[in-house]
Amino acid sequence: MAPVYRRYCQTAAVIFILITVYTVITKLLQGRLADDWLHSVLHLCSGLVGVYAGWFARSPAPAQGFTWAVGVLYFALGCSGWFTPGLLLDSPFAIPLGVAENVFHFALSLPALAILLPHWAGWPERASRADRRRARA
């Protein structure tokens, strides 16, 4: 199961970094980066943690932790975003949550939750193809 966690981290890291680059460029061109800089910093940091967990960590624990955190926290953010316009809106650290952000948070959290579901349900781990081939030989 560890390779699935690592693959999720690698994919999520690339998505986080690409979205961050896109939003920073877009907001710079629109002159709105000062309104939502913390959101971009949080996504960039999430991407960097995903890079570490997906490619550089020696054990699978960081990848599992990252998958859990993104699955649970981003799902909660996606849900709360439908009921509130954002977080810390009256401060310089405002994080607006619109439809695009909610969809983004769900798009990252739902695959993570799908990866975590077998663990939560206590289902036995499925053997890989290589393991099944070795067992037949």
Distance CA 94, CA 32 (A): 12
Contact by Cβ (8 Å): 50, 16: yes
For residue 13, CA distances in Å to 10, 25, 93, 135 come to 5, 18, 23, 35
User: Dihedral through CA 48, CA 49, CA 50, CA 55, nearest 10?
Assistant: 90
Q: What are phi and psi of 72, to 5 degrees?
A: -80, -50
Give one word for 84, left, alpha or beta, with left for phi > 0 and alpha for psi -120 to 50. beta
Q: What is the DSSP letter of 30?
A: H
Q: What confidence score (pLDDT) does residue 12 get?
A: 98
Task: Compute the radius of gyration of the chain from its Cα atoms.
Answer: 18
Asked if pLDDT for residue 124 goes beyond 80, the answer is no
Output 62 or 37, whichever has higher pLDDT: 62
**Which SS3 state, helix, strand or coil, does residue 60 take?**
coil
Tens digits of residue pLDDT in 52-108: 999 999 999 999 999 999 999 999 999 999 999 988 888 888 888 999 999 999 999
Distance CA 106, CA 100 (A): 10
Task: State which H helix or E strand residue 38 sits in.
Answer: helix 37-51
Tens digits of residue pLDDT in 110-121: 999 999 998 777
Contact by Cβ (8 Å): 41, 93: no
In the chain, where the domains are located: 2-121
Q: What confidence score (pLDDT) does residue 92 get?
A: 81
Q: What confidence score (pLDDT) does residue 9 get?
A: 98
Asked if pLDDT for residue 22 goes beyond 70, the answer is yes
Q: What confidence score (pLDDT) does residue 1 get?
A: 65
β-sheet bridge partners, residue 87: 95
